[in-house]
Amino acid sequence: MSAKPSTESRPDFTQLRALPRERWPRREQILCEAASLFAQRGYHGTSTRDIAEALGIRQPSLYNHYPSKLAILQDLCAYDIGVPEERVRWLAGAEASASARLYAAVSLDVEYCLEAPIDMRGLPDDLIREPGLESWNRRLRAWYGTVRALVREGVEEGELAPIDPEFARQAIWGVEWEVIRVSHGGRRRRAGTRPDDTAAFLLRGLLADPGRVGEVRQAAAEVIAAYRAAT
């Protein structure tokens, strides 16, 4: 079984969700408002003054917590890239079929983004190419590489239909992103059945025998339970 995932750069969403936003630590309030504004206006269309005004504070007060907009973006990357990349690395080493691990990865990704107390829609891939985000860019590419490796393994084992792993990775991300875009709406909400629905939809299209999706779902549930126990 895989080792326990690192807790480095892992935000405690449970504590934040349990509190009204005005009781969050100021840094998390800043991250939340910045993420919402980035989703609405884009990173380059948002200033630190905009973020401060959304919080009802003066710009110098924001600088007491973050010296620049880039520093805010770097912390947001811990939510958007750090946690998912650690998770998929753990799943890649779990004791289960590639299809079950891929199903678990999709389900947990969607659940995480829909239940996150910040808006995950404001951090598109091209933003990670900003100067100063090189380490996060490397982790994003590592995340994508792990997903491709899972697809490749599934194809080689005959579980998944023959497909280019990068095309499959793009298709998975495209569907996940659309579910998040439509469902999140910048509001905190419970994920409901969307994570499982999304994983089932995608795996049904990737499996060599789509009729096995129920079997894969059951195996993925065990992987997800093991991941939750480890974290």
Phi (first) and psi of residue 207, to 5 degrees: -65, 145
Is residue 6 one of the residues assigned to a domain?
no
- Give residue 122's pLDDT: 65
66-97 confidence digits (pLDDT tens): 999 999 998 888 888 888 899 999 999 999 99
Looking at residue 31, which CATH number applies to its domain? 1.10.10.60
Domain that holds residue 27: 13-69
Of 108, 121, 103, the residue nearest 183 (C-alpha): 121
Residues 34 and 56 in one domain: yes
91-113 confidence digits (pLDDT tens): 999 999 999 999 999 999 999 88
Is residue 44 one of the residues assigned to a domain?
yes
- Give residue 211's pLDDT: 97
Whole-model pTM? 0.86
125-183 confidence digits (pLDDT tens): 667 778 888 999 899 999 999 999 999 999 999 999 999 999 999 999 999 988 888 87
**DSSP string over 27-65:** HHHHHHHHHHHHHHH-STT--HHHHHHHHTS-HHHHHTT
Residues 185 and 102 in one domain: yes
Residues 65 and 81 in one domain: no
Looking at residue 189, which CATH number applies to its domain? 1.10.357.10
Residues 65 and 98 in one domain: no
10-56 confidence digits (pLDDT tens): 456 667 777 888 888 899 899 989 988 988 888 889 999 999 999 99
Residues 56 and 136 in one domain: no
Q: Are 180 and 119 in contact (CB under 8 A)?
A: no
Residues 217 and 131 in one domain: yes
Residues 176 and 115 in one domain: yes
Is residue 177 one of the residues assigned to a domain?
yes
The alpha-helical segments, DSSP class H, found in 121-212 are 134-156, 165-184, 194-206
Is the pLDDT at 191 greater than 80? The verdict is no
Residues 111 and 196 in one domain: yes
Structure tokens at 160: 């998944």
Average pLDDT (202-222) is: 98
Residues 138 and 226 in one domain: yes
Residues 134 and 33 in one domain: no
Structure tokens at 154: 């599934």
- Give residue 126's pLDDT: 66
Average pLDDT (118-131) is: 73
Distance of CA 184 to the CA centre of its chain: 13
Residues 138 and 51 in one domain: no
Of 69, 90, 116, which residue is a domain's last? 69
Of 47, 69, 91, which residue is a domain's last? 69
Residues 95 and 43 in one domain: no
Q: How many independent structural domains does the chain possess?
A: 2
